[in-house]
Every structure is written in structure tokens, then in C-alpha cells.
Amino acid sequence: MTVVLNQSFTGISIGAVLLLIALGLTLTFGQMGVINMAHGEFIMAGAYTTYVLQQAVSGAGVSLLVALPLAFLVAGAMGALLEWLLIRRLYTRPLDTLLVTWGVSLMLQQLARDVFGAPNVQTAAPDLLTGHITVGGVTFANNRLFILGLALLCVLALTLILRLTPLGRRIRAVVQNRDLAEVSGIATGRVDRTTFFIGSGLAGVAGVALTLVGPIGPTTGTNYIVDAFLVVVVGGIAQLKGSVITAFALGVLQSVLEYSTTVSVAKVVVLVAIVVFLQWRPQGLYTLRTRSLA
Amino acid sequence: MTTTTSPAGTTATEPPVTAPPFLERFRVPGAFLLGAVLLLGIAPLVLSDFRLNLLAKYLCYAVVAVGVSLAWGRGGLLVLGQGVFFGLGGYAMAMHLKLADAAVTGQTLPDFMQLYGTGDALPWWWKPFADPAFAALAATVLLPMAVATLLGFFVFRRRVKGAYFAILSQALAAAFAVWLVGQQATTGGTNGLTDIQGFFGYDLDDPVNQRMVYLIVAGVLLLLMAAARQLFVSRYGELLVAVRDSEERVRFLGYNPANVKLVAYVVAAGMAGLAGALFVPAVGIISPALIGIVPSIGFVIGAAVGGRASLLGAVLGAVAVAWTQSTLSDAYPAAWTYLQGLLFVVAVGFLPGGLASLVTVLRRKRRTTHDPVTGGAA
């Protein structure tokens, strides 16, 4: 029983990391249909922001707290810049966007290699997050709990923004019907850029979380990006709850499979499970109901 | 946007060619003949053994690009997982050659298996690969095609398309590479299958036999290009372009777009498998690093640079990119990565027709400046 619970918690914490990464994608992919392969490098930017900050500020706790908003801003700014420079020119060609942003991601990775060096770097976790608590034989690592909390907090914040603020209303309007939003006087270009800023910023926050799990390096983001995209594909692009459910489901599935087989077999089985799932729901778990054919 | 059936190296939007009808008829066969003379006649004469061997490697990538041009350029299927099929073909060939190498020295197991120790029995799924006919014909081409059929059938049937398809095919490449790395004892793990000595009885260390391998690769490339060109101008080719441009309309006309796409995907997979199989004797290694996410996207970039919808453009692009990579990446690895990234951004972002469309784009530009009315309509 404790084995099951331990594996479930491992799965949920894998899911929390996936969720943090996929959250930003849900926004950018969901709103604009843009596949931003450089999303992984925004994660990396967030992680390196934490690392640099830790060199400058002593005290892992303080630097972590400062890193969260700072990483959001750094990654968000990079995202907004990318949107302005390249992506807005390619809205009608989503598949080409994928390849273009992959090129950007290659360059950013190499840039990180040139600036920070190819080997991975380790950041120190605050003392509070290094221990673990045990409840009824089940071990909860503090850093994993923190990431879970952070992920849920981000989901909550994003939900509130989308539901309650004028900005959120504009974002939803553009998602549901871009043309109608535009003729209603919404500056869709500006909404796009803001959405991209928030989505990329969330990648930065995910990067901060990753520094707590292990060493970080130039390829940190790439390792997660495909899995994160799968979360969005399975969850459906229209609603956040699809991504939330999928992230945790895939996390638990992965961890259970890894426990009963091997890491490599688990990867293959998860992919097969996704293809089978898409037979049942080709548009993902939650879809936006429209009358369009596509 | 009109779809022309004008000769090789065309994009769908190319303006009518103004060559006389007589020359026009011989343009494609002429170009094909010229290519054959260059590849089969002149290249082996003027290039050193080392260069020729490198060219064989690039031509293997070009074979993949022929398939990419079909599936992506004509069919609009962004195939980001060609590495899987390249790998299946490559591993099938390498497994047979390893077994043959072992048999020559009187062993029952390939060298790496003796090293990593799985006991002395050959795994059951290795056994069929001892048969040359099975390995050379069935496994290298039919195995990738079978995998593509299985995945494509389920994916296209449920109208999973566009970005969703691209991501799934990419995830397939990632999963396959991870799986190979995990099976160290039976697949060689990260190292892959290396140090291949012979090719159906011919010693690969002998330069003469290397030339033979080159000629086989070049011949296969020419044949596949001719076949793909026939496919492009056939009724099926027209239908494929129609599916790319407006899938719903094709469906309303009574065709099933899923089947049209499936054929393109499966044929492209078979070509990638064949390329992988030829890559093994030409280069002497197949490993997960050659088939994961990054090389899989690499298969696409060559076609993108040269011109995805143009057969000749895709092939020349693949060779040019591979050549640049091997020239630059040894001396300046960082510079190559930046250049590769830049190629994606510039070629795909700003010149979606690739270099093959450069002439058309420039011509249209010039016409626009001289005569805005017709220029705008072109």
C-alpha cells in the first residue's frame, strides 16, 4: 500500500512539473495555435536566472523568492520579443512556426552553452526544501511539495486572470473568435503579445522549479518540451482543466510504468496510450465547440 | 493558386515556363540524365575515396529528403519523426551485417553482445535477421512501412492533423531513441551498432567495395527520384496537393483524405528506411544519436532550405545542408549550431518555398516594380 502511495506521489510530482511547463503552452498553443518549440529554452532561461541570482544574492531562500518573479519577467520578455520579431508574421502558417521556433531554440541553447558552459550547473536549494516529511509511511519530499504548491498556485492565478479580469475576457474572446473579437474593437495583436508574455513567463517559473529537482543545463528545456506538448495535445487546447487532469494522469501513468517496467519501456507505453486515447477523443479531453470543420 | 503539372523542380505557384515546346518535353529527362552522369560517371572519377564516401552519406540523407518532399512538401504532413524509419531500416541492416560479421569469425553472437552479456543465446527477435533476404528486403523497407501504416492509420482515421500530427511523430522519434538506449544488451544502447566489417560478403575496408556502396546509394537515389517524380505528376499527386491545400473540399468530392495521406506517409517511411539501410554500409554505424528528435528535425531542414515542394530542391538542399554540417561542425561546432538555427528561421520563415523558389520570388519582385498590375496577379 505504501508503495502504491509513494509511487502515486512521485507521479503527482512529475505531473506537477509537466503541468507548470504545459500551462504556458496551453496559453500560447491554445490561443494562437502557435507551436513554440523555444518554450523549452524559456524554461532554461528561468532556470539560469535562478542560478545567476544565486551567485549574486547569498541565501538560497531569498534568491529563490526573488527568482520566481524575475524569471517570469525574463522569460516573458524573451517570449514577447520572439512574438514581435517572428511569430506574428507566421500566424497563418502554424507548422512553419514550429520549425522557425525550433531554429530559435537551437540558437538559444548554443547561446547558453557559450555563456554558461556546456556542463550542467547545480543551484543550492533552501534548507527548508531539502528535507522530507513522512505521513503514515509515505514520504513527501519538501521540494516536490513546493513544486506541487507552485503549480496549483499558477493554475489558480491563471484561472482567476482568465475568468475575472478585463485582460482575461479579451484573451478568451480572441480564442473563441478572432475575427469577431477584432471587429468588436479588441486589439488582437496586443492581446496576442500579452498572452505570449504570460505564457512564456510561466515557462520561466517552471524553470525555477526545475532547479529544485536537479542540475540544470543548456538542454534542460528540450528534455521536457515534447512531453509538455503531449500534455496539451491530450488535454485539449481550449481549457486549462484539460491540461491539469492530463498532466497528473500522465505523471502517475509514467511513474507506475517506470516502477513496474523500465524508464525506456514506460516512454513507449505512454506514447501508445496517447495514440489510443486520441482514437477516442481526437481533439483532446476538452474541446472548444465550434461549428467550423477544421 | 493553380496546380501546374510542369516539370521537375516546380512549386505549385510557378509561372508558366517560356521554353519552346520541343525543349520543354526533354527538360525533365534531360535533367535526370545529367544528374545520372554527374553522380554515376563524373563523381567517382574526380572525387577521392574519402570524399566519395562522404558523398554517399549525404546522398543517404537526400533519399530521406525525397520522402520528406512527398509527405511534407506535397502532402503538408510535417513528418518530424523520419528518424524512426531511418533507424528501423538502419538497425535492420546493421543487425544482419553484425550477425554476418560474427558468422565469418565463427561466433554466434555479435561482439557487443558478448561484451554486455545476455547469456549465449541470441534474442528471438534477432534470429530472422540472419537471413539476408529478410534483412535486406523485408525488414529495411517493409518494417518501417508497416510501423508507418499502423501509426498513420490510427492517426489519420481520426483526423488528427497539422500540429498534433507533427508532435505525435516527434514524440515517436523521442520514444524510439529512448527505448534503444534502454536496451543496451540487445541493441548496443547509446553506442548503437558499430564497427561493421562486411556487406553481403564484401569487405567494407576495401576502397573498391566502398565505391560500390556509393554507386548503389546514388543509383537508389536516382531511381527513387524518378519514381517520386512520376508520383508527383500522377492523379494521386494532384490529389495529395489538393488534400494539403483543402482537405475538407477533397472530402466533399468523395475521396477519403486519410487514405491519401496514409500513402504519402508510408511511402516516405519506406524511403527513410531504405536510406537508413544504405547509411549503415556507407558510414559503418547506426546509433540512437542519429535518429532521435534532433536528427529527425534535421531531415526536414534540408528539404526546407532547398524547397520542400520541389523534388530537386529538396535533394540538393539535403546534400548542401549535410555538406555544410560536416564541414563546419568539426572545426566550429558552435558556429554550425547557430547557422543551423538561422537556416530554420530564414528558410522556413522568410522563404517558405526554399531556394528553389528564389528565382520565382525574384522574378515576381522585379515584375512588381515594373508592372504592378500583372505582378500583383502572378
Convert the pLDDT of each residue in A166-194 to its tens digit.
999 998 888 888 889 999 999 988 998 99
Output the pLDDT for position A63: 83
Distance CA A216, CA A179 (A): 42
Task: Report how far apart the first and last C-alpha atoms of chain A are (Å, whole number).
Answer: 46
Residue among A98, A109, A282 whose CB faces B160 most closely? A282
Q: Could you tell me if B91 and B102 are in contact, meaning their C-beta atoms sit under 8 angstroms apart?
A: no
Distance CA A277, CA A271 (A): 10
Distance CA A22, CA A25 (A): 5
Residue among B175, B334, B352 whose CB faces A96 most closely? B352
CA-based nearest residue to B262, from B71, B67, B66, B64? B71
Chain B within 8 Å of A226 (Cβ-Cβ)?
yes
- The neighbour count for residue A59, using CB atoms within 10 Å, is 12
Residue among B78, B174, B344 whose CB faces A103 most closely? B344
**Is the reported ipTM for this assembly greater than 0.90?**
no
Name residue A139's beta-bridge partners.
Answer: A134
Chain A within 8 Å of B343 (Cβ-Cβ)?
yes
Distance CA A173, CA B219 (A): 56
The model carries a pTM of 0.86
Distance CA B86, CA B101 (A): 22
Residue B164 with chain A: CB contacts under 8 Å: 233, 278
Question: Quick check: A291 pLDDT over 80?
Answer: no
Which residue blocks in B105-253 are alpha helix, DSSP H?
111-116, 132-133, 143-157, 163-182, 184-187, 207-233, 235-245, 247-252
Q: Could you tell me if B59 and B217 are in contact, meaning their C-beta atoms sit under 8 angstroms apart?
A: yes
Task: Report how far apart the first and last C-alpha atoms of chain B are (Å, whole number).
Answer: 10
Q: Could you tell me if A263 and B178 are in contact, meaning their C-beta atoms sit under 8 angstroms apart?
A: yes
Output the pLDDT for position B61: 94
How sure is the predictor about A78, in pLDDT bands with cuts at 50, 70 and 90?
Answer: very high
Residue B160 with chain A: CB contacts under 8 Å: 278, 282
Output the pLDDT for position A281: 81
Residue among B171, B172, B300 whose CB faces A99 most closely? B300
SS3 label, residue B141: helix
- Judged by CB atoms within 8 Å, which residues 230-259 of A form the interface with B? 230, 233
Is residue B22 included in any domain, yes or no? no
The predicted-structure confidence for A49-60, as pLDDT tens digits, reads as follows 999 998 887 777
Range of the domain at B164: 30-377
Phi, psi of B23 (to 5 degrees): -65, -40
More reliable by pLDDT, A64 or B148: B148
> How big is chain B, counted in residues?
378
Output the pLDDT for position B45: 83
Each residue's pLDDT tens digit in chain B (378 positions)?
A: 344 444 444 444 555 555 566 666 777 788 888 888 888 888 888 888 888 889 999 999 999 999 999 999 999 999 999 999 999 999 999 988 888 888 888 777 787 777 766 666 778 888 888 887 777 777 889 999 999 999 899 888 888 777 888 888 888 888 888 888 888 777 888 888 888 888 887 888 788 888 889 999 999 999 999 999 999 999 999 999 999 998 989 999 999 999 999 999 999 999 999 999 999 998 888 999 898 888 898 888 888 888 888 888 899 999 999 888 888 887 888 888 898 889 888 888 888 888 778 777 777 766 655 544 333 333
Is residue B3 included in any domain, yes or no? no
Beta-carbon contacts below 8 Å between A and B: 121
Chain B within 8 Å of A267 (Cβ-Cβ)?
yes
Is residue B146 included in any domain, yes or no? yes
Share of chain A above pLDDT 90, in %: 33
- Judged by CB atoms within 8 Å, which residues 272-291 of A form the interface with B? 274-276, 278-279, 282
What the block records as the C-alpha cell of B9 is: 523542380
Cell 496559453, residue located: A27
Distance CA B247, CA A144 (A): 46
Q: Which CATH number applies to A2-119+141-280: 1.10.3470, 2.170.130, 1.10.3210, 1.10.10? A: 1.10.3470
Picking from A38-47, A264-273, B288-297, B356-365, which range would have the lowest pLDDT averaged per residue?
B356-365
Chain B within 8 Å of A224 (Cβ-Cβ)?
no
Cell 519506406, residue located: B270
Distance CA A109, CA B120 (A): 44
| Contacts with A43 (C-beta within 8 Å, 6 or more apart), sequence order | A21, A75, A203, A204, A206, A207, A210, A220, A221, A224, A225
Residue among A86, A95, A271 whose CB faces B345 most closely? A86
Q: Could you tell me if B99 and B84 are in contact, meaning their C-beta atoms sit under 8 angstroms apart?
A: no
Chain-centre distance for alpha carbon B56: 13
Which residue blocks in B47-81 are alpha helix, DSSP H?
49-68
Q: Do B341 and A114 touch (CB under 8 A)?
A: no
Q: Could you tell me if B101 and B110 are in contact, meaning their C-beta atoms sit under 8 angstroms apart?
A: yes
Q: Do B341 and A264 touch (CB under 8 A)?
A: no
Is residue B17 included in any domain, yes or no? no
Is residue B15 included in any domain, yes or no? no
| Contacts with B65 (C-beta within 8 Å, 6 or more apart), sequence order | B299, B302, B303, B306, B314, B315, B317, B318
Domain count, chain B: 1
Q: Could you tell me if B129 and B138 are in contact, meaning their C-beta atoms sit under 8 angstroms apart?
A: no
What the block records as the C-alpha cell of B325 is: 554540417
> How big is chain A, counted in residues?
294
CA-based nearest residue to B133, from B100, B167, B172? B100
Question: Quick check: A5 pLDDT over 50?
Answer: yes
| Contacts with B174 (C-beta within 8 Å, 6 or more apart), sequence order | A226, A267, B292, B293
How sure is the predictor about A292, in pLDDT bands with cuts at 50, 70 and 90?
Answer: low
Phi, psi of A283 (to 5 degrees): -95, 5
CA-based nearest residue to A222, from A38, A30, A20? A38
Measured CA distances, A112 to A104, A107, A215, A294, B295 (Å): 12, 9, 15, 39, 21
What the block records as the C-alpha cell of A84 is: 514581435
Q: What does the pLDDT average to over A206-218?
A: 89
Residue B81 with chain A: CB contacts under 8 Å: none
